[in-house]
Structure 1
Amino acid sequence: MDHPPFDIISSSFHADPFPELDRMRAEGPVVSIKLPIVGRTWLAVTYDACAELLKDHENFARDHANAGSKTQERVLRFLPRTIGLLALNMLGHDDPEHRRLRGLVDQAFQRRSITALSPMINQIADRLLDRLEGQSEAELMAKYCRYVPLSVICAMLGLPEKDHDRFKSWLGGLRDTANIGTVILAIPGVIQVVRYLRRTSRPRGGAQPEGLIATLREVQIDGQRLSEDELVSMIFLLFGAGQETTTHLIAGGLLELLSREDQLRLLRSDPGLMPSCVEECLRYVSPIQMTKPRFVTRDMEWMGRNFKRGNMIAALLAAANCDPARFERPQVFDIARHPNPHLSFGTGVHFCLGFQLARVEAAVGIERLLLRFPNLRLNRGVSIRWHKRLGIRALTALPVRLET
């Protein structure tokens, strides 16, 4: 008897992903699945398979052209050129082009100490929490979790604070990427963002001179700089990666803490557990559920499956992060878990550029909130719901009570 198709998109899956992830791993380290827009693809669903996939750049390419695949090309053909240029970012390239782009952005990032950003992140968090003072209840996703990373990445990029709300409005439609109709409706907002970034990233375009945009514009290796299209694409990538994923890390982490009195009490009694708490939030929540697809470069057998050149395959990080072959009691949320070798930032040459920033933002965001509101708890009168999304585990809202 054929098993029912795997589901990694629905709200019910995101509310409790573990049973479905267990079912997928029971079929083997790699499973076949049909996804919206991209169609039939493969997913690595064990820890070892995900890690090997992400490190093997000979058999699995990020650039579809290096595997003879035209799937991505066909999708991009239907999108405006303004949207297509966003594929120029380093995530869509293999070496040596990936190495060139990564080297340029790494150099720009190295000029900033992430630790030195903590005071700014604290100020941003406190300013947002000031607005909640005196309220008995609040919806933290809209009032706090989304705005902490949004404000931080805009400040890091050197964008004027007055433009933060415009960004939220422009990109708001991209929260349901499983629905092709919703994606199409979001295109005008994305085009607005690209036009704004192109204008702002030019000399005297309005970006602050100490921000990442100005640094990326000037940085060079062996006399090479980013082209204007590459610069715009890189800024868009940094904005998306630096804002949305951390939003869902903070919100999802808070939900898990507030749902477990023992873990919340342990963290309050021992603030030194915050680093390991953040790591457990990264593992357990897995805000980034899966990686961008790789493309098989040759006909081959791998992990017991037969692949054709051009086949698509992605690493399901959420499955790797709860693989019982790697983690003891993987379905238990344990803020003192150690070691915690989760794959939430990926591995290999595409390891997440902003991993340090995400950790600091989550730690500061959770810590400031818990300090300001010692009686913080979930609002049991409002149900918790999750977005229907592919690749992102995102709460629709986080309703809480702030005071007794």
Structure 2
Amino acid sequence: MREFGPVVPMKLPIVGRTYLAVTHDACSALLKDHENFARDPGNAGSRTQERVLKYLPRTIGLLALNMLGHDDPEHRRLRSLVDHAFQRRTIQSIRPMISAIADRLLDGLEGKHQADLMEDFCRDLPLSVICAMLGLPEKDHDRFKSWLGGLKDTANIGAVIRAIPGVIRVVRYLRRTSRPGGGVLADGLIAALRDAESDGQTLSEDELVSMIFLLFGAGQETTTHLIAGGLFALLSHEDQLRRLKADPNLMPMCVEECLRYVSPVQMTKPRFAVQDIFWQESRYRRGDMFASFLAAANCDPLKFEDAHRFDISRHPNAHLSFGTGVHFCLGFQLARAEAAIAIERIISRFPDIRLDGTEHLHWRKRLGIRTLEKLPVRLMD
């Protein structure tokens, strides 16, 4: 694809014709250029999203209110309020909580010879962490897992439609519990978001519910696939796993390499040309849709030496897995901490862990996300 040029025209399922930026430079330029490209298609002359939202149930449509779909100044307003809420608790302060959850999950694997880490660990860790951070009562954590279970296959229209009732239940639950006295913990993110104020601005109830849903989805799913994909990469490269065991100080660089090599988020959400432009050696029309193909950017040989090699000591490592520009991932520090703790706890508790046959490994066919169906391992002989 890179040999074709920095931007490749594609026809993607559901979304249609899209121009994919496939080099590191082009992806970075697209994500930083807010004069020529917009996240909200309405700012590029399209009313398609507006018309679609009119036909969706209100509880589904309000999810589009989150900051990912907005441009400045609205994006800046929402991002500022969320930043204020996040600053109440540092990542360092919640590391013990993440470690405790990881150990509790791994306690359930003690004495077992085999396990599916995707089911038994990789999904449950980020799910439990984000529920705890949001301040949801512990008794409700499993309800979220069942309500949103149908969203594992977003490339399947039928699966998405079947998941709508669960999403509606989540939205109604969040609307009820996020109100004062609704049951969320006082030191959680939901309470912090509800009380957040920036320049006299606060979140409306609809914006609050939409933001909680965004934080839950982003905080749970993408980190799941980072942990699972990172463990798969390490277990598939025994030399790198041995290096990490011999020198635990390599863990921060290991996590960065997992982010680059796995690229759990394969591409960004679309952006739209706000005017006719000449960009990256070609001409485009107002309303044309673009996306940054992060998986391609992260293995661009012009940016990374021996780009297809998994090297946990790679430095520098200017991957784009968290994006760049004003939409840079809000939870980047949390994802790094969870991945580091997950990997450290597993290899400490089960030093002889290894893959249990690659013939059982299958990648889900999902647009934009790299995800294993299962991660079968042998914990001990």
TM-score by length of 1: 0.93
Aligned equivalent of 1:226, options 203, 206, 212:
203
* Amino acid paired to 2:147: W
Matched, 1:330 2:307: yes
Q: Following the alignment from structure 1 to structure 2, what is the Cα–Cα distance between the partners of residues 282 and 340? A: 10
| 2:357 aligned partner | 380
2:220 matched to 1:243? Answer: yes
What secondary structure does 1:322 align onto? coil
TM-fit CA distance, 1:74: 4.1
Query: Structure 2 matches for 1:243-282, cutoff 5 A?
Result: 243-282=220-259
After TM superposition, list the pairs within 5 Å mapping 1:2-401 onto structure 2: 24-380=1-357, 383-401=360-378
Q: What SS does the aligned partner of 1:25 have?
A: coil
What is the alpha-carbon distance in structure 1 between the residues aligned to residue 160 and residue 5 of structure 2?
A: 32
Q: Give the drift of 1:75.
A: 3.8
Q: Which segments of 5 or more consecutive residues in structure 2 lack a partner in the other structure?
A: none
* Contact 1:36–1:180, Cα closer than 8 Å, also in 2: no
Q: 1:381 to 1:287 in 2, by over 3 A?
A: closer
SS in 2 for 1:31: strand
**Distance across 1 between alignment mates of 2:13 and 2:162:** 16
1:82 and 1:311 mapped to 2: Cα distance? Answer: 29
One-letter amino acid of the structure 2 residue matched with residue 235 of structure 1: I
Inter-CA distance 27–78: structure 2 relative to 1 (3 Å threshold): farther
Q: Cα distance, 1:70 vs. partner? A: 2.5
Aligned equivalents of 1:56 and 1:374: distance in 2? Answer: 46
The alignment-based identity, stated in percent, is 74
**Alpha-carbon shift at residue 72 of structure 1 (Å):** 2.6
CA distance in 2: counterparts of 1:336 and 1:93, whole angstroms: 37
AA aligned to 1:48 is D
Distance 2:141 2:366 in 1: 24
Provide, for residues 131-151 of structure 1, a one-character-per-residue CA deviation record: whole Å limited to 9, x for no partner: 000101001001000111111
In the TM superposition, what whole-angstrom CA distance separates every residue of 1:204-235 from its partner, at most 9, and x where no partner exists?
11110110000100111122110000000000
Structure 2: how far apart are the matches of 1:45 and 1:181? Answer: 30
The one-letter amino acid paired with 1:227 is S
Separation in 1 of the partners of 2:217 and 2:322? 15
Greater CA deviation, 189-198 or 63-72? 63-72
Q: What secondary structure is seen at the aligned counterpart in 2 of 1:392?
A: coil
Could you report, residue by residue, the CA deviation over 1:324-348 in whole angstroms, capped at 9, with x for unpaired residues? 1111111101001000000000000
CA distance in 2 between partners of 1:71 and 1:287 (Å): 29
Alignment partner of 1:26: what SS?
coil
Q: Which amino acid is the alignment partner of residue 195 of structure 2? A: E
* DSSP-derived class of the 1:121 partner: helix
Contact 1:36/1:179 (8 A) holds in 2: no
1:257-287 alpha-carbon deviations (Å, 9 max, x no partner): 0011101111111110000000000000000
State which drifts further: 181-190 or 386-395: 181-190
User: Offset of 1:114 from its aligned partner?
Assistant: 0.5
How far apart are residue 34 of structure 1 and its match? 1.3
Q: Deviations over 1:78-124 (max 9, x none)?
A: 43221111110011111111110000000111111101111111100
CA distance in 1, matches of 2:312, 2:322: 18
Change (3 A) 1:128 1:382: farther
Moved more, 166-175 or 96-105: 166-175
The 3 A distance-change label for structure 1 pair 78 and 36 is farther
Conserved in 2, the CA contact under 8 Å of 1:382 and 1:399? no
Q: Which amino acid aligns with 2:98?
A: I
Contact 1:276 1:336 in 2 (8 A): yes
In structure 2, C-alpha distance between the alignment counterparts of 1:178 and 1:73, rounded to whole Å: 21
AA of the residue aligned to 1:180 = I
Q: CA deviation at 1:163?
A: 1.2
Q: Which amino acid aligns with 2:332?
A: F
**Cα 1:71–1:319, aligned 2, differ >3 Å: closer, same or farther?**
farther
